[in-house]
Amino acid sequence: MMKESKVYKLKNGLTLLFYKDPTKHSMVAHIIIKYGGINNQYIINNKKYQTKDGIAHYLEHLLIEHSIYGNALTYFNNKYINTNGFTNSKITNFYIETVSDFENSLVELINMVNIPSFNKEDIETTKYAIIEEIRKNNDNKFRNLNKKTLNCLFKNIEYKNNLGTEATIKNLTYEEIKECYNIFYQPSNQVIAICGNINIPKLKKLITKTYENLKKEKIEYQLPNYNEPNEVVKKEDYVTEDVNEEYVKVSYKINISDFTNYEKVKLTFYLEYFLENNFDESSDAYRKLIYQKMSVHSISHNFYPIDKFIIVEIGTYTNNKKEFVNLVNNTIKNKKFNEEFFQIRKNRTIISLILREENPTDMLSPLIDNVIVFNYYENDKISDIENYTFEDYQNQINKLDFTNYCVTEIRKKEVKSKEKKLLTVAK
Amino acid sequence: MKKLKFNNEPFIIKNKRFNTIDFIFLYPYPYEKKDMYDIRLLKNLLKCTSKDYPTEQEFKKQLLKKMIIGYDVRTIIINKNLYFEISLFIPNPNKVKTFNLDEAFSFFINAIYNPNITADEFNVKQFQREKKYLAASINNNMKNIYNYSYQRFINYYDNIGNLKNNIFTNQPLLEKTTPLSVFKCYQKIITNNEPLIIIFGDISNKQVNDLFEKYHPYHHQNIVINKDYYEFLSPRKEYQYIEETSHYNQSVLYLGYKVLDMQEEDREYLELLGRIIDSRSTNLLFKALRLNNNLVYQTGLNFNTNYGIIYINAYLHKNSKDKAIKIIKELIDNLNNKEQISQYIKIILEEIDKQLIRQKDSKYANVNNYINKKLQLNTNLKEKYNIYSHIAVDQFLAFLKRVKLDTIYFLRGDDEEDDERKQSI
């Protein structure tokens, strides 16, 4: 029996992604809304509307906790189905995972997302849990650093975090939340991704029929063009936290609008190779970091796309900010391209694509990313990776402009010794 | 004390459904707390260096070059038993033609038996680096609300010391470690010892025999160890309440329970109790604190049947503390209805039935079941299904009467700017 993936676009604009693996017992369905923390503006009839931060995440809670089935977590859990949702900067994702009654549960998941039943009272009830979640995030020093970094990087993209603040959450109204729901939860803004031992034509038919029954009204809207400049807004900033060692991060803001969608996907592989080769434990930069006693930790690196940019971040725990920033900048300036390393990493990528088959979700997730993040409607293919060349790798990385960057850091905060025992009472 | 017996011949769990092969070497050894940092440093040193590749850079390069997907060292510590686990995770050579099984396996054996040692001690420079890294990681970890609050809680909850004497709380011992002390630890755990060997994946007996003959010839040997897994903590006559303040935004509440006169045969009851309170299908804890009373974003339950403990934590607003304590106490106290318990057990059985189907997709279920059975660590899901199916509810209720609240610990957050937000309680 063959494993296969399929992509469809329905008349209502809904995108369907399927990955069939007849050897598996578990089935997974995601409904992904292209609405995340960054989307706090929209345009209707040439008029721009601004919304408060945190509504996408708030809606995720409302739709799950006050669905037409009551609390959907309880509803699905009672049927032994794993379920939840999450919101990031670009999307809101609702999912189920089950070994039985998949088709009915899929229809229920579609109904949960597309038939909102929350009311004004529910908006108030949901606030408590979200405010606790915000507090939880405020105790995470790296999230606080990220907020500061985003402030430094962007002038027009007003994205701070996905949750909003206690103040914005307290003041949210039913009307503004419902308006955002009506705009962003249209079928054309949704992607359904399914994997497991599935009958693709049957599911496609079922989904088409379910959405026809919903009869959702179409609202024309556009997302704003941010006209975000290539330059960063602020070169340096910091947060103070209760830490033993300071943490320093260099974030590069790189415009990749000249890359095609396929090239952007390819760039994610090349960036991985490049950052590993230049900053991992096998790199010269790491050797210098350790032997010059800048840090005892490894160098962390990651990248993420926002709007027309890819943000490349390189950081570590260090009390030697200046030396570390110089090390990172010099490494980037004198980029090392090692052909042997490139071939080894290419082989590793091919192995990782083979390994993805062990878990259908591992096959589906990269496809979802390709579609949502890069508008590229194909899964990663071994044949594509085999065609990657060392010359192309160097050319693509050399095309990236690393001149715009900011340095953000976590500095030590003086914490008064408050952790003392108050009372010990035997009851 | 029970003896566990096994031999050092590789045991192969054949499975053609997956594209990878795992080699797991499990070295059993009696655990002593005084060795905790030597063991941790040994783990880190074996993970990233060897005699042939003495720096992290060279070692990492070889892992990449030899297409090794994973090489890991970890420890399982259960009361007075240590299992030092070294594992290799590689592609199936039948699926990835460019992969060389011999090269990967010989590297693995070399990394274990030829570490970065000179004159009977670990390389001093690398040792110093790992020691500094360990100290820094411990200190960074203790700044995290989750670890900090847990360490404070077990400091009061653990009246024997098995839980609270850990690497976060005994840093003066770290200072006493030397390249020699880690070497001695290496000798007793690895070189003067024999591992239990498990191989998982699409590999033939002949392939395995050839590999071992070439790179790690062994003589059949029986291994006998003393199984000393249990040290049940006794509840206090009256529970203790401790409250401390912190600078964190959140407040954290722990309610720790222990079992009076806990016996080995109570372990399944204790796990069942944990499942009843906090499994997805019953969801009693989350329902009580979040869905019905809106007090938390996050709550959880943990149990350890080797120590006979079960505790609940909740991250909440400081004003919600008293109500949360009342609700959790009521939740446990109200679990005394025979019909209700029967109903919960039915739900748990149905959930396990579904989990057993899910396990068929899981690569590690077979391996874990084998290790659990061989080392008598835990019963597997199928066995649990049978045990719960035949459980006498009256006996379970009698067990519940012996579950006693021992410690309430509250770490009060410092969200002064938001003191006006009173919960409607």
Tell me what ipTM this predicted complex has. 0.90
> Do A15 and A190 contact (CB within 8 A), yes or no?
yes
Name every chain B residue with its beta carbon within 8 A of the beta carbon of A419: 152, 244-246
Give the C-alpha distances (Å, rounded to integers) separating A412 from A135, A141, A238, A246, A289. 20, 11, 10, 6, 21
pTM for this predicted structure: 0.92
pLDDT value of residue A363 = 85
Domain contains A226? no
Whether B125 contacts chain A with CB within 8 A:
no
* pLDDT bracket for residue A207 (50, 70, 90): very high
Residue A423 lies in a domain: no
- B409 at the A interface (CB within 8 A)? no
Q: Report DSSP state, residue B320.
A: G
Looking at chain B, the whole-number percentage of residues with pLDDT higher than 70 is 97
Nearest Cβ partner of B296 from A132, A359, A427? A132
One domain, residues A199 and A264: no
Residues A170 and A282 in one domain: no
pLDDT band for position A427 (cuts 50, 70, 90): very low
Work out the number of other CB atoms within 10 angstroms of the CB of residue A88: 14
Residues 328-367 in B contacting A (C-alpha not used; CB under 8 Å): 350-351, 354, 357-358, 360-361, 363
- Which of A 232-251 lie inside 8 A of B, CB atoms? 242-245
Q: Are A299 and A316 in contact (CB under 8 A)?
A: yes
Q: Which structure tokens are listed for A74?
A: 């309880």
> Which residue in the set A78, A129, A341 is minimally distant from B281, CB to CB?
A78
pLDDT of residue B366: 87
Angstroms from A49 CA to nearest CA on chain B:
30
Are both A325 and A202 inside the same structural domain? no
- Contact criterion met (CB below 8 Å) for B367 and B22: yes
Say whether residue A385 is in contact with chain B using an 8 A CB cutoff.
no
The answer to whether position A16 is within a domain reads yes
Tell me, what's the pLDDT at A1?
62
**One domain, residues A92 and A204:** yes
Split at pLDDT 50, 70, 90, the class of B416 is low
Whether pLDDT at B421 is above 60: no
Q: Answer whether residue B255 shows pLDDT above 80.
A: yes
- Quick one: average pLDDT of A10-27? 95
Is residue A81 a part of any domain in this protein? Answer: yes
A277, A345: one domain? yes
Same domain, A366 and A254: yes
Whether residues A330 and A252 share a domain: the answer is: yes
Residues A60 and A109 in one domain: yes
CB contact under 8 Å between A420 and B418, yes or no, is no
Q: Which of residues 258-287 of B touch A (CB under 8 A)?
A: 280-281, 283, 286-287
| pLDDT at position B425 | 30
Domain annotation covers residue A426: no
Interchain pair B290, A129: CB under 8 A: yes
Q: B241, A422: Cβ pair inside 8 Å?
A: no
Give me the pLDDT at residue A404, please: 98
Please tell me the distance from the alpha carbon of residue A9 to that of residue A31, in angstroms, as a whole number: 14
Alpha helix ranges (H) inside B158-249? 171-175, 179-186, 205-215
Q: B18 falls in which pLDDT band (50, 70, 90)?
A: confident
Give per-residue pLDDT as tens, B340-399: 999 999 999 999 999 999 999 988 888 999 999 999 999 999 999 999 999 999 999 999
B60/A281 CB distance under 8 A: yes
Q: Which range among A196-200, A396-400, B219-223 shows the weakest confidence by mean pLDDT?
A: B219-223
Range of the domain at A298: 236-412
- A260 and A394 in a single domain? The answer is yes
Q: 3-class SS at B332?
A: helix
| A99 and chain B in contact, CB less than 8 A | yes
A-facing residues of B in 31-60 (CB < 8 A) are 48, 55-60
DSSP state of B308: T
Q: Which residues of B touch A139 (CB under 8 A)?
A: 145, 248-250
Q: Within a domain: residue A220? A: no
Q: Which of A214, A248, A278 is the C-terminal boundary of a domain? A: A214
> How far is residue B296's CA from residue A422's CA, in Å, rounded to a whole number?
23
pLDDT tens column, A244-258 = 899 999 999 999 999
**CB-CB under 8 Å, A74 with B291:** yes
Same domain, A106 and A205: yes
Say what the pLDDT of residue B423 is.
Answer: 37
> Is the predicted pLDDT of residue A192 greater than 60, yes or no?
yes
Give percent of chain A above pLDDT 70. 97
Residue A387 has what pLDDT?
Answer: 95
Banded model confidence at residue A416, pLDDT cuts 50, 70, 90? low
CA distance B87 to B44: 14
Mean pLDDT of B230-259: 96
> Lowest mean pLDDT: which of A304-313, A383-392, B9-18, B143-152?
B9-18
Report the C-alpha gap between A173 and A238 in whole angstroms: 33
Which residues in chain B are closer than 8 Å to A296, comparing Cβ atoms?
A: 129, 132-133, 136
In the predicted model, what is the mean pLDDT of chain B?
Answer: 93
> Are residues A155 and A252 part of one domain?
no
What dihedral do alpha carbons B361, B364, B366, B372 form, nearest 10°? -140
Q: Does a structural domain hold residue A227?
A: no
Q: Are residues A242 and A207 in the same domain?
A: no
Worst-scoring range by mean pLDDT, A112-116, B101-105, B142-146, B345-349? B142-146
CATH H superfamily, domain B2-227: Metalloenzyme, LuxS/M16 peptidase-like (3.30.830.10)
Mean pLDDT of all residues belonging to chain A? 93
Q: Looking at domain B240-418, which CATH architecture does it have?
A: 2-Layer Sandwich (3.30)
Q: Is A317 on the interface with B (CB under 8 A)?
A: yes
Task: Tell me the sheet residues that pair with A213.
Answer: none
Among A39, A59, A37, A34, smallest CA distance to A49 is for: A39
pLDDT tens per residue across span A93-120: 999 999 999 999 999 999 999 999 999 9
Per-residue pLDDT, A417 = 54
Select the residue from B248, B316, B343, B350 to test the A interface by mutation, using most A Cβ atoms within 10 A.
B248
Which candidate, B63, B64, B69, B66, places its Cα nearest to that of B99?
B66
Q: Is A420 exposed, middle or buried (0-12, 13-18, 19+ CB in 10 A)?
A: exposed
Q: Is the pLDDT of residue A425 over 80?
A: no
Judge whether A174 lies within some domain.
yes
**Cα–Cα distance for residue pair A406/A253, rounded to 1 Å:** 8
Q: What kind and span of H or E run contains B314?
A: strand B309-316
- Contacting B residues, span 12-31, partner chain A, CB-CB under 8 Å: 17-20
Alpha helices in B198-337 (DSSP H): 205-215, 267-278, 284-286, 321-333
* Chosen domain end from A149, A179, A214: A214
Residues of chain B with CATH 3.30.830.10: 2-227, 240-418
pLDDT at residue B422 is higher than 50 = no
**Mutation for testing the A interface, residue in B361, B416, B420, B424 having most A CBs under 10 Å:** B361
DSSP string, A371-411: HHHH---S---HHHHHT--HHHHHHHHHTS----EEEEEEE
pLDDT of residue B94: 85
CB contact under 8 A, A282 and B57: yes
Number of compact structural domains in chain A: 2
Percent of chain B scoring above 90 in pLDDT? 86
pLDDT digits (tens, 9 = 90+) for A131-144: 989 988 888 999 99
Nearest by CB to B96, from A281, A351, A425: name it.
A351
What is the CATH number for A374?
Answer: 3.30.830.10
- Chain B, 93 to 112: residues with Cβ < 8 Å from chain A are 95-96, 98-99
Q: What value, to the nearest 5°, has the Cα angle with vertex A255 and ends A253 and A259?
A: 140
| B407 to A427, B238, B402: CA distances (angstroms) | 10, 9, 15
Residue of chain B nearest A415, judged by CA positions? B247
Contacts of residue A56, defined as CB under 8 A and 6 or more positions apart, other chains included, come to A33, A35, A36, A37, A39, A87, A92, A162, A180, A184
B240 strand-pairing partners: A426, B407
Residue B424, pLDDT > 80, answer no
Q: Distance, in angstroms, between A405 CA and closest chain B CA?
A: 27
